[in-house]
């Protein structure tokens, strides 16, 4: 695939990623994605034969994006406690998206689980990347024994905040919870 072909492929993956988040995987059609990218549906099949092929590419992109973000935080924030606080700030940085669509990771994992989709396990790997990284941060602030439990607690709390914020369209709730989570991290 040439440079133009790779560019088109990346545009398709980005458009699919956005649509899967905003509309849901099941509700997004090939036509929706082709229209968003501006590629004739017939040409679309050159890049992806099935919707599952697109989902595989979207999941890989999301995992790569998560890893790159966490690597950037590792460089930007030398202290594990500051990294944990930065993780919590995802909620604030994404508040309008969360209010409208929930968490991109949680919503896709939940949908694929409901569908009993074969790629649900691959979607769950996004949470695993976060969990392992969070465990390192908790261990780094002296909670090695409880790192796994604390990582899951923080992830669950952030998922709950995302869900309630979206359900009630309540960004004030989100901000209150973020402040409380920041204080919790500070107190550990």
The pLDDT of 60-82, averaged and rounded, is: 98
Angle at 151 between CA 62 and CA 146, to 5 degrees: 150
pLDDT computed for residue 67 by the predictor: 98
Do 57 and 49 contact (CB within 8 A), yes or no? no
Residue 4 pLDDT > 80, yes or no? no
The answer to whether 108 and 21 have CB atoms below 8 angstroms apart is yes
Q: What is the pLDDT of residue 44?
A: 80
- Kindly indicate the confidence band of residue 5, based on its pLDDT and cuts at 50, 70 and 90: confident
Does 52 score more than 70 pLDDT? yes
Indicate if 168 and 87 belong to the same structural domain: yes
41/64 same-domain check: no
Please tell me whether residues 159 and 126 are part of one structural domain.
Answer: yes
CATH classification of the domain holding 19: 1.10.10.60
Number of domains composing the chain: 2
Separation CA 65–CA 58 (nearest Å): 10
Q: Are residues 79 and 1 in the same domain?
A: no
Query: Both 87 and 7 in a single domain?
Result: no
Domain that residue 91 falls in: 59-187
Round to whole Å and give the CA distance between 78 and 85.
12
Higher pLDDT, 75 or 44: 75
Query: Are both 107 and 19 inside the same structural domain?
Result: no
pLDDT at 1: 62
Specify the residue for token string 């649509």: 19
Q: Say yes or no: 77 and 43 in one domain.
A: no
Do 174 and 111 fall into the same domain?
yes
Residue 79, Ramachandran bin (φ over 0: left; ψ between -120 and 50: alpha; else beta): beta
pLDDT at position 122, please?
95
pTM for the full predicted model = 0.94
- Among the residue ranges 3-7, 13-17, 33-37, 141-145, the one predicted with the least confidence is 3-7
My answer on whether 33 and 80 are in the same domain is: no
Over residues 33-49, mean pLDDT? 89
CA distance 137 to 143: 9
Q: What is the DSSP letter of 103?
A: -
């Amino acid at each position: 695939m040439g440079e133009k072909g790779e560019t088109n492929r990346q545009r398709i993956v980005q458009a699919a990623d956005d649509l899967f988040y905003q509309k849901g995987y099941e509700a997004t059609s090939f036509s929706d994605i082709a229209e968003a990218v501006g590629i004739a549906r017939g040409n679309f099949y050159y890049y992806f034969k099935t919707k599952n092929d697109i989902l595989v590419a979207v999941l890989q992109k999301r995992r790569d994006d998560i890893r790159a973000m966490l690597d950037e935080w590792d460089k930007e924030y030398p202290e594990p406690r500051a990294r944990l606080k930065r993780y919590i700030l995802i909620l604030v940085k994404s508040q309008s998206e969360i209010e409208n669509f929930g968490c991109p990771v949680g919503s896709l994992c939940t949908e694929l689980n409901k569908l009993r989709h074969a790629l649900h396990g691959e979607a769950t790997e996004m949470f695993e990347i976060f969990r392992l990284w969070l465990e390192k941060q908790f261990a780094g602030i002296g909670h090695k024994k409880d790192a796994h439990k604390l990582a899951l607690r923080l992830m669950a709390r952030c998922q709950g905040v995302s869900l309630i914020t979206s359900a009630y369209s309540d960004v004030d709730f989100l901000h209150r919870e973020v402040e409380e989570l920041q204080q919790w991290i500070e107190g550990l």
